[in-house]
Amino acid sequence: MKMRLFKLSPWLATMAFTVAAIILVVLFRYSRNDGIWDVGQEFEAVSTGLQKGPGYPPVFAYWISGTGGEVRKVLRLLKAVYHPRNHYLLHLDAGSSVSERTELAQLVQSEKIFVSFRNVDVVGKTYVVDRTGPSAVAATLHGAAVLLRINKNWDWLITLSSSDYPLVSQDDLLYVFSSLPRDLNFIDHTSDLGWKEYERFDKIIVDPSLYLDRNSHSFTATETRSTPEAFKIFTGSPWMILSRPFLEHCVHSWDNLPRKLLMYFTNVAYAMESYFQTVICNSPEFQNTTVNNDLRYFIWDNPPKLDPLFLNQSNYKDMIKSRAAFARRFVEDEPVLQVVDQKILKRPTNGVALGKWCSVLSKEQNGENADDQCSSWSDINAIKQKKAGKRLKSLVLELVSDQKMHENQCK
């Protein structure tokens, strides 16, 4: 297959190739003992009693990314989305200091549940991520590769940033996903590129984050290229819920497409809004697994800026009405998050969100130790659905209904 994307001046082609090679090296360099802090490794793992398969809830993997100054934000989000079934990989990019990453690992390690279930890991050896450049794709692929290696149980990967917050409890999310085919991918996408065709895909950018170890911004090369014809470009929200089979396809498969596209997107601005969309919609075996929605609530300013608006109390009703699973963006300690904690997650100030798995003591017994309700537990295969779960389920059922799903796939 002849691809126009390779008709670049020699230096640029060399650059593109070098950078793609670096991404691949980054992907395969890490193992559990190299760069990932396995919090709790010196403790004996408990027998979790995790059951999988028909009749049992699925398992999620979470890739939670943040930067310097966001240790507490990331920890709060972790507690809000925590469930012993799941696996969590926390990443603070190179905008953070070693002491911040150490602090995050220590804070995780100081929680009995996290240590007992050994299902929270922290990326210790970090790297630079410029979310406007392809290094954000490299980071996500790295997170997926690590999670695929260290946990054989998860069914879906959910990507979150430190500015996100859940609108449903994990019990509710597990409940809604229990009845879904495990190969579905929630990925917002369109091939209607509009202004992006020229601004994003015809311009060539170079993201120094891929080979430097300090924060840097992508820059645009003077040369342009025409939009490729060998594949169709799709674009959409950078936040998604991807199935394990699809991520194995991206990370491990011998199929050439994910790697070819990685080379192309190495020079595309906001690659995180196009890479996975383009891979999935150009892969016949995965096209039919797409659900065209990211299950997130956010609002844009008018005219839209680079990021959606920060949400606050005045948005609470609309957040609930949206039936979404997550909302973004929130500033640290935004008061509306406390409302979400109390009304939806039943999360005590410093504790993890309450679930059916917690063995809740009665109020009198528990007294002042409200934070400790989940420090002992019972069956982690049992979940209890609540109102928020019903809302999300009605949205998801609409999205996956035969007709709606086909109408919106990779168009």
Residues that bind ligand NAG (CB under 6 A): 284-285, 288, 309, 312, 314-315
Task: Specify the residue, 78 or 184, whose C-beta has the smaller distance to ligand NAG.
Answer: 184
- CB 332, min distance to ligand NAG, A: 14
Q: How far apart are CA 248 and CA 145, in angstroms?
A: 8
Residue 59 or 327: the one with the smaller Cβ distance to ligand NAG is 327
Nearest-approach distance from CB 194 to ligand NAG, in angstroms:
25
Q: Are 75 and 51 in contact (CB under 8 A)?
A: no
Cβ closer to ligand NAG: 267 or 315? 315
User: With contact defined as beta carbons under 8 Å apart, do 142 and 35 qualify?
Assistant: no
Name the residue nearer to ligand NAG (CB basis): 202 or 285.
285
Q: In the bound complex, what is the minimum distance in angstroms from residue 142's beta carbon to ligand NAG?
A: 29
Q: Identify which of residues 24 and 257 has a Cβ nearer to ligand NAG in the complex.
A: 257
Q: Pick between residue 175 and residue 330 the one whose CB is nearest to ligand NAG.
A: 330
Compare residues 53 and 284 and give the one whose CB is closer to ligand NAG.
Answer: 284
Alpha carbon dihedral 269, 272, 273, 278, in 10-degree steps, equals: 100
CB of 406 to ligand NAG, least distance (A): 6
C-beta closer to ligand NAG: residue 312 or 359: 312
Residue 309 vs 360, nearer CB to ligand NAG: 309
In the complex, minimum distance from the CB of residue 277 to ligand NAG, in angstroms, rounded to a whole number: 17
Asked whether the beta carbons of 341 and 80 are under 8 A apart, the reply is yes
Contacts 24+ apart (CB under 8 A), 256-261: 257/231, 257/282, 257/283, 259/20, 259/24, 260/3, 261/231
Q: How many CB atoms lie within 10 A of CB 50?
A: 15
Identify whether the C-beta of residue 216 lies closer than 8 Å to the C-beta of residue 208: yes
Beta bridge partners of residue 290, listed in sequence order: 185
- In angstroms, give the least distance from the CB of 289 to ligand NAG: 9
CB-based contact 8:16 (threshold 8 Å): yes
Helices and strands, number each (H, E), in the chain = 16, 13
CB atoms within 10 A of CB 124: 17
Counted residue by residue, the chain has a size of 411
Q: Are 381 and 56 in contact (CB under 8 A)?
A: yes
Q: Give yes or no for a contact between 142 and 27, defined as CB atoms under 8 angstroms apart.
A: yes
Least Å distance, CB 159 to ligand NAG, is 24
Contact call for residues 187 and 276 (beta carbons, < 8 A): yes
What distances in angstroms separate CA 333 from CA 58, 68, 74, 162, one per listed residue? Answer: 31, 16, 11, 12
d(CA 334, CA 34): 36
- Least distance from ligand NAG to the Cβ atom of residue 318, Å: 9
CB of 354 to ligand NAG, least distance (A): 28
Residue at token pair 């890479």: 275
Q: Name the residue nearer to ligand NAG (CB basis): 85 or 296.
A: 296
Per the structure block, which two tokens stand in for 94? 């190179």
Q: What share of the chain is helix, strand, coil (3-state, %, to 5)?
A: 40, 15, 45
- Residue 164 CB, nearest approach to ligand NAG (Å): 16
